[in-house]
Chains A and B, each alone.
Chain A
Amino acid sequence: MTRYAIRRLIQVVPFAVVIVCLVFVLIRLAPGDPITYLAEADGDAAYLAAMRAKYGLDRPIGEQLLAYLSNALRGDFGDSFRYNRPVAEVIVSRLPATLLLMGTALAVSTVLGLLLGIEAARRANSYRDLVLTTGSLLGQALPSFWLAQIVVLVFAARLGWFPVQGMTTARANYTGLAYVLDVAWHLALPAACLGLLQLALITRLTRASLREALADEYVRTARAKGLTENDVVLRHALPNALLPVVTVIGGQFGNILTGAVLIEIIFAWPGIGRLIYDATTARDYPLLTGLFFVAALGVILANLVTDLTYAVLDPRVRLR
Chain B
Amino acid sequence: MRSVRRVTTLLAATALMVTACAPQAPTTGGAAAPAATPSPARGGTLVVAASSDPGQLNTAITTAGGTHFVAALLYNGLIFLDQEANPKPDLAEKWTISPDGRSYTFTLRQNVKWHDGKPFTSADVKFSFEEVLLRYHGRTATMRTVLDGIETPDPFTVVFRFKQPYGPLLQRLDVIEAPIIPKHIYEGTDPTRNPANTQPVGTGPFKFAEYVRDDRTRFVRNPDYFKPNLPYLDEVIFRVIPQANTQVLALENGEVDYLNSVPGPDLARLRANRDITIEKSAMGSGGSFCTSTLIFNLERPATGKVEVRQALAYAIDRAQILEQVNFGQGKVSEAFINSGLTWATNPNAPKYPLNRELAGQLLDRAGYPRGADGVRLSLDFVHPSAQSRLGELLRQQLQPIGINLVLKALEVNAANEQVFIRRDFDIGWASYCNGPDPEIGVRRMIDSTNIGPVLFSNGAAYRNPQVDDLLNRAAALTDRAERGRLYQEMQVILGRDLPYLGLVESEGYRAWRSSFKGFQYWSGLFAETAYLEKR
Contacts and interface: CB of A to CB of B under 8 A. Distances in A.
A32 B243 contact: no
A40 B253 contact: no
A41 B442 CA distance: 12
B214 A94 contact: yes
A43 B212 contact: no
A270 B198 CA distance: 18
Contacts of B416: 36
Interface stretch (A20-28, A166-174, A217-225): A166-174
Contacts of B214: 94, 270-271, 274-275, 278
A39 B63 contact: yes
A156 B249 contact: yes
A283 B413 contact: yes
B170 interface: no
Contacts of A117: none
B417 A36 contact: yes
B246 A164 contact: yes
Contacts of A82: 55
Interface in B407-438: 410-414, 416-418, 421, 433
A265 B53 CA distance: 12
A267 B64 contact: no
Contact of A166 (B53, B239, B287): B239
B463 interface: no
B64 A32 contact: no
Contact of A32 (B45, B55, B65, B414): B414
Nearest to A32: B413
A160 B249 CA distance: 11
Contacts of B287: 41
B146 interface: no
A304 interface: no
Nearest to B444: A44
**Residue among B47, B237, B250 having the largest count of chain A Cβ atoms under 10 Å:** B250
B162 to A, nearest CB: 17
Interface string B239-270: 11111011001101101100000000000000
A294 B239 CA distance: 26
A152 interface: yes
B29 interface: no
B55 A83 contact: yes
A198 interface: no
A165 B213 contact: no
Contacts of A165: 239, 241, 246, 249-250, 255
Contacts of A309: none
B193 interface: yes
Which size bracket describes the interface of A in this complex? 35 or more
A84 B194 CA distance: 9
A146 interface: no
Contacts of B256: 170
A266 interface: yes
A43 B246 contact: no
Interface stretch (B35-43, B135-143, B394-402, B505-513): B135-143
Nearest to B256: A170
Contacts of B410: 31
Which size bracket describes the interface of B in this complex? 35 or more
A267 B253 contact: no
A52 B304 CA distance: 33
B249 A164 contact: yes
Contacts of A152: 246, 249
Contacts of A313: none
Contacts of A302: none
B257 to A, nearest CB: 9
Given A160-B253, A268-B239, A42 B53 contact: no
Contacts of A274: 214, 242
B442 to A, nearest CB: 13
B453 interface: yes
B56 interface: yes
A43 B454 contact: yes
Nearest to B412: A281
Given A33-B417, A85-B198, 12 more contacts: A37-B413, A39-B63, A40-B286, A45-B453, A156-B253, A157-B253, A164-B253, A166-B215, A268-B240, A270-B213, A277-B242, A278-B214
Which 8 residue pairs across A and B have the least CB separation, nearest first? A42-B138, A32-B413, A43-B138, A31-B414, A270-B214, A270-B215, A268-B241, A41-B456
Interface of B: 45, 47, 52-53, 55-56, 62-65, 135, 138-139, 141-142, 144, 192-193, 197-198, 212-216, 237, 239-243, 245-246, 249-250, 252-253, 255-256, 286-287, 410-414, 416-418, 421, 433, 450, 453-456
27 contacts: A31-B413, A32-B413, A36-B417, A39-B63, A40-B63, A40-B138, A40-B286, A41-B63, A42-B138, A43-B454, A79-B193, A83-B56, A94-B213, A156-B249, A160-B253, A163-B253, A165-B239, A168-B215, A170-B47, A170-B216, A268-B240, A268-B241, A268-B243, A270-B212, A270-B214, A274-B214, A281-B412
